[in-house]
């Protein structure tokens, strides 16, 4: 029998806090009411926004089996759902309390009593136990809820309704228009079922998803969840999973808001199933670039993946400025390829210049990728263990490297000979190789690698230019400061380039050449000051500055010359 009145039923110490159980956003309210409609067996849900003067009202109507007992609506923790629904979904009896603090009218059909009822719950009634009158209503099926809409909802309401309906399993209309819906596992490359859930595996680039993105879909309610993923070593892609839950009571959500998953044995088992699903998807793909660790894990789980594709990327020396570093992308499959680790740019950059002229290693150099240690094809490759330069200046010969300074008596500038020396390891043996070089750098005693303090050596007779050396020095030691009071990147780079050119030209061509380069650099951006028909001559020294302006004959344009002829 339908009661004449109902009242909110919450423990006295909790009654005043009921409006804080949910954050009362439009999206949360709509999501909760959609879940209630689905549990009630609705085959469709209609939402609409109506206005009456300055007031706005949201209407949510479904064609489900209705609410049998009005008391369950306002009794916190009493769900009123069937045993089957409670087994499958663990409803908390809190969904309608997402409306707490709102002015609400609820109309519903009670199947046991075969009649409709209506209750108007004023905003203030949620935090008191005052009686709420129940009236008869002509509604013949389902439930219809009207909510007075606060102004802050209006700006996002269209988006909130569309978002709540996107992965919802029941058709939804908004102001009479059918909303688009999408399978939670759309675009999955592999799908499998596991104890009441569907696991979909996707290949994603890390920049195309976030750890805050939804991973679980609970009948349209999507929530983040820490699930396993597998990253391929150098393809940039991740194998990730989404889970569509349809009948999995072992997966529980934290109440009342249901925005995170309960950490229990059910979610732990799901994570194990996800990892297996990912490896099965990789196996179905045929080839992969997994680390040897992940490859061994897959095999331990019973998935006999082949080894990763046997190629590596061509080696390119690292620059000191990390923003300039990128993988070459050129694949090398030569079985004689040689692994080159990430040496400091101070030695890697001049070494790259030397190797470009003559490769002493007996095979193409490739980026060492130690994540592949454990694969047969990788473990047999030769590896460069050490790089250094041997420099001869006058009657002195010394060794420099990224961690070994030049002797104090050595002078930056021209030297008689430079050779790049390397230690290689292969099949348990160590091999020494070398090749001629034109340039070598050595750190200063503080390892600051500044323009003025870094040692610079250039082989006499080489074809390298002073500006060419400056370019390599830039790659070897320049990196922009990101301190809050630092100049912009471009300003720091321009200053470095000017200082490097002045120093290298001074070392290799003399002070006069360095002065000329500096003056040209200062004046280069001021050509526009001189009219086309004038020549400006500047004579400058410590005592005077003379400026002479003389006429300049401007060559006739080709068309004018033709007319004169």
Q: Tokens at residue 177, please?
A: 């228009």
- In the block, residue with structure tokens 């951006």: 525
Pairwise CA distance, residues 16 & 22, whole Å: 13
Q: Tokens at residue 258, please?
A: 């249901």
Pairwise CA distance, residues 140 & 115, whole Å: 7
User: For residue 100, which of 153, 32, 38, 2 has the smallest C-alpha distance?
Assistant: 32
Phi, psi of 77 (to 5 degrees): 95, -10
Q: Would you say 201 and 281 are in contact if contact means Cβ atoms under 8 Å apart?
A: yes
Pick the CATH number of 5-178 from 1.10.150.20, 3.40.640.10, 3.30.565.10, 3.50.50.60: 3.30.565.10
Position 11 scores a pLDDT of 55
The helix (run of H) or strand (run of E) holding residue 352 is helix 345-357
Segment 304-311 long-range contacts (CB within 8 Å, at least 24 positions apart): 305/279, 307/375, 307/376, 307/377, 308/233, 308/372, 308/375, 310/375, 310/377, 310/378
Q: Domain extents for the chain?
A: 5-178, 190-300, 312-520
Q: Would you say 37 and 170 are in contact if contact means Cβ atoms under 8 Å apart?
A: yes
Segment 497-502 long-range contacts (CB within 8 Å, at least 24 positions apart): 497/470, 499/451, 499/452, 500/451, 500/470, 500/473, 500/474, 501/466, 501/467, 501/470
- Write out the chain's pLDDT in tens, 565 residues: 777 776 766 554 555 555 566 667 899 899 989 999 999 999 999 999 999 989 999 999 999 999 998 888 777 655 555 556 555 565 554 567 778 788 999 999 999 999 999 999 998 887 777 888 999 999 999 999 999 999 999 999 999 999 999 999 999 999 999 999 999 999 999 999 999 999 999 998 876 677 678 899 999 999 999 999 999 998 668 999 999 999 999 999 887 777 899 999 999 999 999 999 999 999 999 999 999 999 999 999 999 999 999 999 999 999 999 988 876 679 999 999 999 999 999 999 999 999 999 999 999 999 999 999 999 999 999 999 999 999 999 999 999 999 999 999 999 999 999 999 999 999 999 999 999 999 999 998 777 789 999 999 999 999 999 999 999 999 999 998 877 677 899 999 999 999 999 999 999 987 777 677 777 777 777 778 888 888 988 888 888 888 898 998 877 666 655 555 5
Pairwise CA distance, residues 99 & 24, whole Å: 7
Segment 419-422 long-range contacts (CB within 8 Å, at least 24 positions apart): 419/389, 419/390, 420/350, 420/351, 420/354, 420/355, 420/360, 420/387, 420/388, 420/389, 421/387, 421/388, 421/389, 421/390, 422/360, 422/361, 422/384, 422/385, 422/386, 422/387, 422/388
Stated pTM of the model: 0.80
Q: Tokens at residue 41, please?
A: 């067996």
């Amino acid at each position: 029998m339908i009661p004449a009145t109902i009242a909110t039923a919450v423990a006295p110490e909790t009654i005043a806090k009921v409006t804080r159980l949910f954050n009362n956003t439009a999206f949360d309210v709509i999501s909760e009411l959609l879940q209630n409609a689905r549990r009630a067996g609705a085959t469709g849900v209609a939402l609409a926004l109506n206005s009456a003067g300055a007031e706005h009202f949201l209407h949510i109507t479904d064609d489900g089996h209705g609410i049998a007992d009005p008391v369950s609506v306002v009794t916190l923790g009493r769900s009123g759902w069937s045993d089957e629904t409670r087994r499958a979904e663990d409803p908390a009896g809190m969904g309608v309390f997402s409306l707490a603090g709102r002015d609400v009218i609820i109309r519903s059909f009670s199947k046991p009593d075969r009649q409709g009822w209506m209750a108007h719950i004023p905003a203030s009634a949620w935090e008191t136990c005052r009686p709420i009158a129940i009236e008869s209503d002509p509604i013949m099926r389902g439930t219809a809820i009207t909510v007075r809409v606060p102004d802050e909802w209006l700006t996002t309401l269209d988006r909130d309704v569309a978002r709540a309906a996107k992965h919802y399993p029941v058709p939804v209309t908004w102001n009479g228009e059918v909303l688009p819906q999408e399978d939670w596992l759309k675009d999955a490359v592999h799908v499998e079922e596991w104890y009441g859930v569907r696991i979909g595996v996707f290949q994603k680039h890390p920049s195309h998803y976030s750890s805050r993105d939804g991973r679980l879909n609970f009948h349209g309610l999507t929530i983040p969840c820490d699930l396993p993923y597998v990253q391929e070593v150098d393809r940039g892609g991740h194998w990730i999973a989404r889970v569509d839950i349809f009948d999995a009571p072992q997966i529980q959500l934290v109440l009342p808001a249901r925005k995170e998953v309960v950490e229990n044995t059910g979610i732990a088992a799901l994570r194990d199933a996800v990892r297996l699903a990912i490896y099965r998807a990789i196996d179905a793909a045929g080839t992969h670039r997994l680390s040897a660790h992940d490859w061994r894990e897959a095999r331990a789980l019973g998935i006999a993946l082949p080894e990763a594709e046997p190629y590596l990327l061509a080696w390119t020396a690292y620059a000191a400025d990390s923003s300039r570093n990128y993988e070459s992308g050129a694949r090398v499959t030569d079985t004689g390829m040689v692994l080159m680790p990430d040496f400091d740019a101070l030695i890697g950059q001049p070494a790259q210049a030397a190797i470009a002229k003559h490769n002493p290693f007996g095979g193409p150099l490739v980026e060492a990728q130690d994540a592949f240690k454990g694969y047969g094809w990788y473990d047999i490759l030769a590896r460069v263990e050490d790089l250094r330069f041997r420099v001869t200046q006058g009657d002195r010969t010394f060794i420099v490297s990224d961690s070994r300074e030049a002797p104090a008596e050595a002078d930056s500038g021209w030297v008689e000979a430079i050779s790049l020396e390397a230690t290689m390891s292969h099949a348990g043996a160590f091999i020494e190789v070398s090749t001629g070089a034109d340039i070598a750098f050595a750190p200063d005693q503080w390892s600051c690698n500044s323009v003025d303090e870094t040692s610079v050596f250039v082989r006499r007779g080489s074809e390298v230019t002073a500006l060419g050396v400056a370019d390599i020095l830039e790659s070897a030691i320049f990196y922009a400061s990101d301190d809050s009071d630092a100049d912009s990147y471009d300003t720091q780079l321009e200053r470095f380039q000017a200082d490097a050119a002045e120093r290298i030209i001074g070392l290799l061509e003399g002070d006069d050449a360095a002065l000329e380069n500096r003056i040209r650099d200062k004046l280069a951006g001021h050509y526009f000051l001189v009219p086309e028909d004038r020549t400006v001559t500047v004579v400058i020294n410590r005592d005077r500055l003379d400026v002479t302006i003389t006429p300049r004959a401007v060559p006739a344009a080709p068309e004018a010359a033709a007319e004169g002829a």
